[in-house]
Structure 1
Amino acid sequence: MSPPRPFIDPATGEIDSAQILSEAVPLAKLVGVFVAGSLPFYAIAFFGAENSALGALLALLGDFILAVGAGIALMYVIAHGIRLAGE
Structure 2
Amino acid sequence: MAPSRPFFDPQSGELDTDQLLEEAVPLAKLVAVVGAIALVPLVLQFLLLRIFAFVPVFSAVLSLAAQFVLAVGTGIVLLYVVARANQLVDES
Q: Above 0.5 in TM-score?
A: yes
Choose 39-48 or 3-12, whichever is displaced more. Answer: 39-48
Q: Is the 8 A contact 1:42 1:58 kept in 2?
A: yes
Q: For residue 81 of structure 1, what is the aligned residue in structure 2?
A: 85
Q: CA deviation at 1:65?
A: 0.6
Q: Which one has the largest radius of gyration?
A: 2
Report Cα offsets for 1:17-73 as digits up to 9, x if no partner.
Answer: 111110000001111111111112111213422660111100110111111110000
Number of equivalences: 87
Structure 1 regions of 5+ residues with no counterpart? Answer: none
Q: Percent identity?
A: 46
Alpha carbon RMSD of aligned pairs, Å? Answer: 1.4
- The secondary structure found in structure 2 opposite 1:11 is coil
TM-score normalised per structure 2: 0.86
Residue matched to 2:37: 37
Q: 5 Å matches for 1:2-81? A: 2-49=2-49, 52-81=56-85
**Partners of 1:56 and 1:41 in 2: CA distance:** 11
Deviation at 1:2? 3.7
TM-score by length of 1: 0.90
**Distance in 1 separating the partners of 2:43 and 2:30:** 21
- Unaligned 5+ segments in structure 2 are none
In structure 2, distance between residues paired with 1:59 and 1:20: 35
Q: Distance in 1 between matches of 2:63 and 2:86?
A: 35
